[in-house]
Every structure is written in structure tokens, then in C-alpha cells.
Chains A and B, each alone.
Chain A
Amino acid sequence: MVTQVGELVCEGLTKRYGDTMALDSVSLSVPSSGIFALIGRNGAGKTTLIRILATEVEPTSGRAWINGIDVVKEDKKLREKIAIVPQEARTIAWMTPKQTVLSYLLWRGFGYGEAKNRAADSLARLGIAKYGDKLNRTLSGGTKRKVLAATVLASESEVIFLDEPTTGLDPISRREFWEILRELGKDRFIFLTTHYLEEAEQLADRIGILKEGKLAASGSLDSLRGTIRYQYSVKLPPNVQPPKVVEGEIMTGKNGETQVLTGEEEAFSIARKLSESGVRFSVSPVTLDDIFLQLDSESATDGDSN
């Protein structure tokens, strides 16, 4: 198989831990530019995939390449170009943010002076320069996450892996962080995982959905919409009688609110009827949430019928 610069390719990537299939023959091919977001439930295999790609763990079988570099056979070569913040990374208690970023850059082989400048720039870019000389253990949880992000963002790496980078960030910080990632995604490849579907939707150029170790879908949000049956969603407040649906799915939420998933034409004809009867409602293309929930229930029923 020939892969080239500008691509991330996985071919039958499998990782088994004892009886657990953490990754089950994942094949994927996406451009290695911009931002790729991997989503999936707890234990779906996101961290496993990211660790294999970042050369931390060897797959049981299958292969993968980033920009034509084999992640197993050419791990040394690849490591020149990558950086990661692992899901469970922590800032070291007895160090300050400045010292944290600086030492990481020294380990990457930067000269002391340049490392120091890059560290200061990176902390400033993440808006945490004012905490630069405080001890890490005195910082809030979200600030600690930002310090970790600052370490890898300060580096020269072309590919950056971030495993749940925004967990623990407040909604405003999260949006500010998106801005920084968008900026960085212009000339680097950012591969992240997240449990915030809105984040993947807002931020990522491409999205992959893992389910029980298998890749359930991948592509741009638009192309993901194409993989599910219904592309439109009509939402109704609680206690409103849902309209008759010819082709689609009606789902009722905990508080009695209903959601109708259906095709474009039917969505608008429902909308017309609803507005004639004066009911408040919203109609929109399906969101990543809808896609995620649908894929999840679909594959589950597949599993049952087998």
C-alpha cells in the first residue's frame, strides 16, 4: 500500500487486550490537515487509536501511516513530527507553567533560549501568561489542562494529538480554545478526541465515530449526515401532539418533548402544518448529536439480530 504526504491512513488496525477488542479492524483515510475529531462512548477505543497513531502502543495487527510514515516501522522518524497530550496527563505539582512548557521543549531538543521564548509565547496565546510563575498545584483544573495544551502547542510538531483537551474547561474557555485550535489547524494537523459533540461539529473539518472498537462512520459533517436515513429534525415542546409522520422516526424525551427525524420534504410539510396550528417548533438539519444517537442505536440492533 502506498500512502503519501497529506494523508492519515489506517488499514485493519486492531488492538486486543486479553479478551477485550479495544480496536477492531479500523480502516480510515483522511487528509492529514486541519482538525480531525474522534468521538465515541466511553471505552469505544478513542484513546487506544490515538496512542497507536502517536507511537505509544503497538497494534496487535493492521498498519497505519501518517504522511506516508509507518507508525510502527518508522516510529523514530514519525516522533520527530508529532506531539501528544494524553488523556490522563497531569501537570507536575512542584513546577510552574513556565517550567512545564520549557522542560518539555528542552526534551524535544530546543536550545534553552529558544525554548524559553516559545514557552512564554505559548502561555500568552492560551491566555494563561499571568499564571506563568505560580505553582501548578495551585492552579484550577481547567488552567492545568491549558498548561498541558500549551506545552505541545509550543513545539514545532506538524501533527498534534489531543486526547479530550477541553474536558474541564468552562464554556467560554472552551470556545477560546477552539479559536486557538482553528488557528493552529491552518498549518498543522490536529487529531483530537472529545465527548462534546458540539465541539466536534463546530471545530472539526472531519469527524470519526468509533463504536465498540469499530469505525462506525467518518467524514465531514455533511457526509456524515448522508450516512444516516433522515437528514432533518423537527423538535416540539412537551405536551404537543406529534404530527402524523409518513416516513421517519418519532422520539419522545424524558420531559415529554418530541423529536421527529425525517427527510427534507416531509420535515417542511410537517413544519407548515405545525405553523398553521400555531404550535411553537424548530426545524433544522440533523446535528452530530442526532447522528451519533442514531448510529449508536442502529449498530446496537444490528448486534441483536446477529
Chain B
Amino acid sequence: MKRRVSSQLIAAILVNAVYEMKNYPIVLITTVLSPLSFLVVIAFVSRGALIGQAIEGGLIMSMFSSGTALQGDLSHLKNDFKLQDMLVSSPASPQIYVLGMAVSEIVYTLPALVILISLVGIYIQPNLFQAAELTGALLLMFLTSVVIGFMFSTFSSDIVQSFAFSRLLSLLFTTITPVYYPITYIPLPYAYLAYLSPTTYVAEIVQNATGYLTLPGFLVAADWLILSGLTIVLFFVTAKKARWKES
């Protein structure tokens, strides 16, 4: 029998995004609301001054949360439904499974992305080059967070653990870090701490691209390099450590 890769991708998208949104519409509200709520708070508190950064922050948060959600979802399906065991004992490919699940997280975030991208169009109005830089940085961010998410899912063994991981990741990497506001707002010794978070680099790239922050070219290049380097290293570490079957 000829087995289709496309079917395997569709399966993940259906199970982890489409069916969930279709059968439980309430989850749509949550995914849309969480990036928007921060945005609204920041915009109000700054009396509109930081709205551009806040929209970009919303995009970073959405993309980053997609990756950490992958962690929660992979663990949930594996530990609570034994879906992974069923798929291990089947011709399903582990790589395609994880890829499909990652894509499903984007699909799940689409409603929020549509709103945020419209806001970008209204408030930031980037030119083509800026738009390309935004897209590139956000996709790289997504990749980083997917790899981080996948890494955590390989060592969480129950749902309480994995939800705690999810919350911790998004708190560390999207709430306290300068994602919704410029890094220059942080007093100096603490600003260095922010560089422990991959989201800080994306925020710098994105804010610099759209003129909310002015960085020398070499720093922007460094941001790109560090983010890609981190992603590649984590990818190989995770790919080596991750196990489809148990030993």
C-alpha cells in the first residue's frame, strides 16, 4: 500500500487544531485573547505610545506560545491518550508526526495571527522589506520555540508537569522579557539577563526593523546569528535525545 505523507500531516492538523477548534469553540477565544490582552494593557498604560511595540510583542508571544503549546500537546497526547504508543506501532513516521503537530500549532494560532497582522497593517504599515524582515524573524522564533517545546516534551511524563513547563516557558520568555516593550526600559545590570531569552533577540530585530529601536548593524546581525545558532544547536541536541520508542 502506498502511504501518503500528506495524509499524515493532515491528521495532526485535524486532531490538534481543526477538530479542537470546531468542537470546542471556546478555545478560539482563549488563543485570540491572550496576546491581545497584553497588547491592550501596554497600549493603555503607555497612552498609545508603545502600541507598535505591543503589536509586535503580541506576534512574538503568539509565535513563541505556538512552540511551547507543542510541548504541552505532544505530552498530553502521549501520556494521557497513549496516542504516541498507537502511532509507534504503526507505519506513521516520527518526523512527519512532529512536523504535522508543529504546523497544527500555527493553524491553531491563525485567528490571533490574522488579527495581529491586520493591526500591523493599520498601525505599523511596514514596507515590503520590513515586512519580510518581520516574517523571517518571527518564523525563526517559531522554529526556536518548537525545538524548545519538543525538547521539553521528551522529558515530561505527565500532564501536570507539562502544563507547568508551558507556563514557565511563556512566563520566562514572553512576559517578563522585553517583548512587549523596548529593552532600553530595563535598568542596566538586569538588561543583560534579558539576553538569556531567545525572544529578546527577535524583539530587537523586529523593533529595529520597524524603527522603534535603533541598533548598529553588527548588533542586528549578531541577533540573527545567535538566534539561528541557538536553534540549530538545540535542534541537534533534541533530535539526538528524543526517542520515539522506549528503551
Contacts and interface: CB of A to CB of B under 8 A. Distances in A.
B89 A161 contact: yes
A7 interface: no
A90 B12 CA distance: 17
A294 interface: no
A56 B85 contact: yes
A29 B7 CA distance: 37
B240 interface: no
Nearest to A85: B86
Nearest to B2: A109
Contact of B4 (A86, A99, A110): A110
B133 interface: no
Interface residues of B, number: 33
A19 to B, nearest CB: 17
B19 A83 contact: no
A196 interface: no
A155 B91 CA distance: 11
A110 B15 CA distance: 16
B8 A107 contact: yes
A283 to B, nearest CB: 45
A103 B15 contact: yes
Tell which of A58, A75, A86 has the most Cβ of chain B within 10 Å. Answer: A86
B47 interface: no
Nearest to A57: B246
B193 interface: no
Given A58-B247, A99-B19, A111 B7 contact: yes
Nearest to B84: A56
B81 A91 contact: yes
B86 A109 contact: no
Interface string B1-35: 11111011011101100011001100000000000
B80 interface: yes
Contact of A95 (B2, B15, B86, B97): B15
Interface in A98-156: 99, 102-104, 106-112, 115, 135, 151-152, 155-156
Contacts of B127: none
Contacts of A99: 14-15, 19
B86 to A, nearest CB: 6
Nearest to A155: B90
Interface string B150-176: 000000000000000000000000000
A39 interface: no
Given A111-B7, A161-B89, A58 B245 contact: yes
Given A56-B85, A92-B83, A95-B19, A103 B91 contact: no
Given A79-B91, A89-B86, A135-B23, A106 B81 contact: no
Nearest to A54: B89
Interface string B59-82: 000000000000000000100111
A110 B86 contact: no
Tell which of B7, B77, B90 has the most Cβ of chain A within 10 Å. Answer: B90
B40 to A, nearest CB: 29
B85 A86 contact: yes
A84 interface: yes
Interface of B: 1-5, 7-8, 10-12, 14-15, 19-20, 23-24, 77, 80-83, 85-92, 97, 245-247
Interface of A: 51, 54-58, 75, 79-80, 82-86, 88-92, 94-96, 99, 102-104, 106-112, 115, 135, 151-152, 155-157, 161
